[in-house]
């Protein structure tokens, strides 16, 4: 079972500790005169999605012996106007560098989104998720 602990620091800032011992400061949207101490919790949901699918795609392409030299995943999310303001539309953009076969890249993305990425499966219950990709050959 995964576990995290969150402790209020002050204002809108919270210190988090993960079960694996990593720490992070979270902050909600600060007022104009305030600076943010860290990402907002809803941003971290998108980080989780980006990280989850990135790990999958790298793992799958490595298993297929594809010569990938780089990967960047950018996730953009639109939230509902009314509370609880869940994500309703999410776009995932994959930018892959290397001499990767395009069909194998498409298959790796599909496997991540449809089978392996639990973050995608959970967020897909409330949000329409679509993806784009760009392959930059070396």
Q: What is the CATH topology of the domain spanning 41-136?
A: GMP Synthetase; Chain A, domain 3 (3.30.300)
Taking only the tens place, the pLDDT of each residue in 49-94 is: 999 999 999 999 999 999 999 999 999 999 999 999 999 999 999 9
Q: Is the pLDDT of residue 31 over 70?
A: no
Domain boundaries, the chain: 1-29, 41-136
b/e code 89-103 from CB counts within 10 Å (16+ = b) = ebebebebbbebeee
| Whole-number percent of the chain with pLDDT over 90 | 89
Residue indicated by tokens 């576990």: 3
pLDDT band at 21 (very low <50, low <70, confident <90, very high): very high
């Amino acid at each position: 079972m995964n576990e995290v602990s969150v402790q209020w620091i002050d204002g809108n800032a919270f210190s988090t500790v993960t079960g694996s011992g990593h720490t992070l400061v979270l902050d909600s949207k600060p007022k104009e005169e305030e600076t943010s101490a860290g990402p907002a919790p809803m941003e971290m949901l998108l980080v989780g999605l980006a990280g989850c699918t990135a790990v999958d795609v790298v793992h799958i392409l490595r298993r297929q012996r594809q010569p990938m030299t780089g990967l960047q995943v950018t996730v953009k999310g639109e939230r509902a106007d009314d509370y609880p303001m869940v994500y309703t539309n999410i776009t995932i953009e994959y930018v892959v560098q290397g001499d990767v076969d395009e069909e194998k890249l498409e298959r790796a993305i599909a496997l991540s989104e449809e089978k392996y990425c639990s973050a995608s499966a959970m967020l897909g219950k409330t949000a329409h998720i679509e993806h784009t990709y760009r392959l930059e050959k070396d």
